[in-house]
Amino acid sequence: ARSLDKLYNFADCSGLHLIFALNALRRNPNNSWNSSSALSLLKYSASKKYNISWELGNEPNNYRTMHGRAVNGSQLGKDYIQLKSLLQPIRIYSRASLYGPNIGRLFSLVKVMDFLKTRLLDTLSDQIRKIQKVVNTYTPGKKIWLEGVVTTSAGGTNNLSDSYAAGFLWLNTLGMLANQGIDVVIRHSFFDHGYNHLVDQNFNPLPDYWLSLLYKRLIGPKVLAVHVAGLQRKPRPGRVIRDKLRIYAHCTNHHNHNYVRGSITLFIINLHRSRKKIKLAGTLRDKLVHQYLLQPYGQEGLKSKSVQLNGQPLVMVDDGTLPELKPRPLRAGRTLVIPPVTMGFYVVKNVNALACRYR
């Protein structure tokens, strides 16, 4: 109960809504869910009037591998019905949102170069299409969220999961899923055991923290189509083109007061070992651009746990103050030069794009 109090208070003070995953591994002899402890927790949280949504279990498809116990889909469905029946008599939770089941896939990354493999970056897209097909067949209109996103499984790998290199997979995941209509992506985790978290043991931000912060500040929810001349080529029969230069576009976050409505933000991943030049066309050509280029900082290269923004290292001012994230202005008409194996955000100012002028 004390842990729940701390967790709820943290979420509430941060302006976040708490989704709590109940333990699905507590089982009766017939393998049905033992809900006794869950019911006690529900009653306690109701007495505190905690506004919580609920979930049952975490990656149940991996239970056999991780915990030596299997729960099939039919049984889990019955367990969710049981959870729903527990929530309905509790007034505050009678209409509470119920999420899940989430499913995971174990994979292992052991080298920096694994993060530069385009085939790996495209794997999730294929999986999402399969999930969308199932959902559209059986529960049309139901939203799909991606929860518990990590760069490597089983707690991650030291000097890899928490490095600059891991950001390629993370940023590509955000862009790719937005293109596929996924509304919510939940990152795992802010602070935890292992190496997949966003801050170190002293709460100093790691590379994916800075990447996530820039994404939240610059990227709005509206996705825009991108056409890149020279990349949209047709593959030969039986081949799949997996581009090493990836460009995504969104309307700029309208909550960012530095940019007016109608601005556009590009985020670009260059996996090539050479720099790439990009010329903006059409109405974008004569607009001022703000560059936010993220590169590794220090001697470790892609394994670095520190990053620099436009050549300046990013560090906290003090325990509670983030540094100013200053863009580098690029004059109108200038070619964007993307250094090898880097990623960055480019805000095209004052485009007055019709799709971005209104909510």
For residue 213, give the H/E element and its range. helix 207-218
Looking at the structure, give the CATH architecture of the domain made up of residues 1-103: 3-Layer(aba) Sandwich (3.40)
Residue 325's Cβ-count burial label (10 Å; 0-12, 13-18, 19+) is middle
- The predicted pLDDT at position 217 comes to 97
- pLDDT category at 187 given cuts 50, 70, 90 is confident
CA distance 153 to 105: 8
Residues in CB range of 77: below 8 A, 6 or more apart:
none
Which among 141, 125, 134 is positioned nearest to 174, based on CA atoms?
125
**Using H for helix, E for strand and C for coil, what is the string for 286-338?**
CCCEEEEEEEECCCCHHHCCCEEECCEECCCCECCECCCCCCEEECCCCCEEE
CA distance 155 to 186: 16
Which among 143, 142, 161 is positioned nearest to 151, based on CA atoms?
161
Return the percentage of the chain with pLDDT > 70, whole number: 89
- pLDDT category at 320 given cuts 50, 70, 90 is confident
- The predicted pLDDT at position 68 comes to 76
CA distance 165 to 215: 17
- The predicted pLDDT at position 328 comes to 98
- The predicted pLDDT at position 337 comes to 97
Give the mean model confidence (pLDDT) for residues 72-91: 93
Range in 50-54, 116-120, 177-181, 214-218 the model is least confident about: 116-120
Higher-confidence residue: 160 or 38?
A: 38
- pLDDT category at 124 given cuts 50, 70, 90 is confident
- pLDDT category at 109 given cuts 50, 70, 90 is low
Q: How far is CA 98 from CA 21, 59, 89, 133, in A?
A: 10, 15, 15, 21
Whether the Cβ atoms of residue 338 and residue 275 lie closer than 8 Å to each other = yes
CA distance 191 to 194: 9
pLDDT at 240 over 50: no
pLDDT at 355 over 60: yes
- The predicted pLDDT at position 192 comes to 64
- pLDDT category at 125 given cuts 50, 70, 90 is confident
- pLDDT category at 35 given cuts 50, 70, 90 is very high
Please list the residues that pair with 278 across neighbouring strands. Answer: 336
* Count of residues in the chain: 359
Q: Both tokens of residue 29?
A: 């002899």
Q: Where are the domains of the chain?
A: 1-103, 223-357
Range in 1-5, 109-113, 143-147 the model is least confident about: 109-113
- pLDDT category at 82 given cuts 50, 70, 90 is very high
- pLDDT category at 271 given cuts 50, 70, 90 is very high
Tens digit of pLDDT for each residue in 281-298? Answer: 999 999 999 999 999 999
Q: Both tokens of residue 354?
A: 């019709």
pLDDT at 210 over 90: yes
Side chain identity at 219, as an amino acid letter? I
Give the mean model confidence (pLDDT) for residues 23-46: 94
Q: Both tokens of residue 275?
A: 């720099």
pLDDT at 151 over 70: no
Query: On the CB side of 151, how many CA atoms lie within 13 Å of its CA?
Result: 31
Q: What is the largest CA-CA distance in the chain?
A: 70
Return the percentage of the chain with pLDDT > 90, whole number: 65
Whether the Cβ atoms of residue 248 and residue 279 lie closer than 8 Å to each other = no
pLDDT at 238 over 70: no
pLDDT at 228 over 50: yes
- pLDDT category at 120 given cuts 50, 70, 90 is confident
Select 223-357's CATH number: 3.40.50.2300, 3.40.50.10800, 2.60.40.1180, 3.40.47.10: 2.60.40.1180
Give the mean model confidence (pLDDT) for residues 168-196: 84
- The predicted pLDDT at position 58 comes to 80
